[in-house]
């Protein structure tokens, strides 16, 4: 959308056309949404298909290629973290029976790396690979509380997006919440994204003790907390142990 210059920028602005709501598009749609001239789009798309970064669907449209899934699976968090964490996420899912999520921080955003949800779970907006701001989700709060000061200040300085009446939008309040998260070792995001859900999140630590990820359970408003908090915290600790925290 912005004015791209280098070939790589152009290529990525093409890839950025694909979204959850628009997983397959025609060549001219690609051209329009990316702002690139049609012939340029055509040439670039051909190269990307050649490289399997894009796939041509039977109906002539284009979609993201499996090569990118393959590469994405190598991103930090997907490789080691995901594999080691999955069994414990399963355990947590057994207890909660709603939604269980694993996320890492990328800059000033949360990226979800894994998610387990029940067929009849409260519908959650997040998916694997999707992004959310740090200030309003359970995992976001945990990750933000453990982030470098520069990142925290950067988030606190920017306007905080409101999702519901309960969303924290005051930087002062957010500071307090973060302090509480650090003290307690877990975060609660109560109806900050949707008015029908709240989430409890706990940190996951790597070998050197740094917070590398966060686990959370998302449940319908009204579910009792007393068993949920220990379950989520235990899960976070278990994954941390599996990652070598407190060992060599």
Partner DNA sequence: CCATCGTTTCCGGTCAGTGGAAGACTGGGC
Partner DNA sequence: GCCCAGTCTTCCACTGACCGGAAACGATGG
Long-range CB contact pairs, 6-11, < 8 A, 24+ = 7/44, 10/34, 10/36, 10/40, 10/44, 11/44, 11/47, 11/48
Sort strands 197-205 and 211-220 into parallel, antiparallel or unpaired: antiparallel
> If contact means CB under 5 to 8 A according to the sort of partner, which of a copy of itself, DNA, none does residue 5 touch?
DNA
Give me the least distance between CB of 54 and DNA, in Å please: 12
Among 26, 57, 170, 225, binds a copy of itself (CB under 8 A): 57
**Structure tokens that stand for 176 in this block:** 């307090």
DSSP state of 227: T
Kind of pairing between the strands at 131-133 and 109-117: antiparallel
24 binds DNA (CB under 7 A): no
Phi, psi angles (nearest 5°) of residue 114:
-150, 150
Residue among 7, 71, 73, 179 that touches DNA (CB under 7 A): 7
Task: Note whether 6 binds DNA by CB under 7 A.
Answer: yes
- Is the Cβ of residue 13 or residue 117 nearer to DNA in the bound state? 13
Q: Which does 36 bind (CB under 5 to 8 A by kind): DNA, a copy of itself, none?
A: DNA
Nearer to a copy of itself among residue 67 and residue 180 (C-beta): 67
DSSP readout, 104-135? EEETTEEEEEEEEE-TTSPP-S--TT-EEESS
Residue 234: CB minimum distance to a copy of itself, A: 14
Tokens standing for residue 196: 């029908």
The span from the CA of 88 to the CA of 86, in Å, is 5
Which C-beta is closer to DNA: that of 46 or that of 196? 46
CB 166 within 8 A of CB 195: yes
Q: Work out which of 25, 48, 213, 231 binds a copy of itself, going by CB under 8 A.
A: 48
Q: 29 or 80, CB closer to DNA?
A: 29
> 58 Cβ partners below 8 Å, 6+ apart?
none
What is the C-alpha to C-alpha distance for residues 114 and 97, in angstroms, rounded to an integer? 16
Q: Which does 117 bind (CB under 5 to 8 A by kind): a copy of itself, DNA, none?
A: a copy of itself
Q: Please pick, from the candidates 1, 2, 39, 120, the single residue that binds DNA as defined by CB under 7 A.
A: 39
Positions 48 through 77 that interact with DNA (CB under 7 A): 60-61
Footprint of a copy of itself (CB under 8 A): 6-9, 11-12, 15, 18-20, 23-24, 44, 47-48, 51-53, 55, 57, 63-80, 82-83, 86-88, 90, 93, 104, 106, 111, 113, 115-119, 127-131
Footprint of DNA (CB under 7 A): 5-8, 10, 26-29, 36-40, 42-44, 60-61
């Amino acid at each position: 959308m912005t004015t791209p210059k280098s070939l790589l920028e152009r290529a990525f602005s093409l890839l950025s056309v694909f979204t959850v709501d628009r997983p397959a598009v025609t060549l001219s749609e690609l051209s329009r949404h990316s702002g690139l001239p049609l012939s340029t789009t055509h040439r670039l798309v051909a190269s990307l298909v050649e490289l399997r970064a894009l796939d041509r669907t039977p109906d002539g449209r284009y979609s993201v290629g499996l090569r990118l899934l393959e590469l994405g699976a190598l991103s930090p968090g997907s490789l080691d973290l995901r594999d080691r964490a999955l069994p414990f996420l399963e355990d947590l899912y057994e207890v909660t029976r709603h939604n269980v999520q694993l996320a890492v921080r990328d800059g000033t955003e949360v990226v979800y790396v894994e998610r387990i949800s029940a067929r009849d779970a409260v519908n959650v907006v997040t998916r694997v690979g999707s992004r959310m701001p740090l200030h309003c989700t359970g995992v976001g709060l945990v990750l933000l509380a453990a982030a470098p000061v520069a990142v925290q200040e950067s988030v606190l300085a920017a306007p905080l997006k409101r999702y519901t009446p309960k969303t924290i939008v005051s930087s002062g309040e957010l500071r307090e919440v973060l302090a509480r998260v650090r003290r307690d070792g877990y975060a609660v995001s109560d109806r900050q994204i949707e008015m029908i859900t709240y989430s409890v999140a706990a940190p996951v630590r790597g070998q050197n003790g740094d917070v590398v990820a966060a686990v959370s359970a998302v449940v319908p408003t009204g579910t009792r907390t007393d068993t949920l908090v220990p379950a989520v915290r235990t899960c976070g600790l278990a994954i941390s142990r599996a990652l070598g925290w407190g060992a060599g």
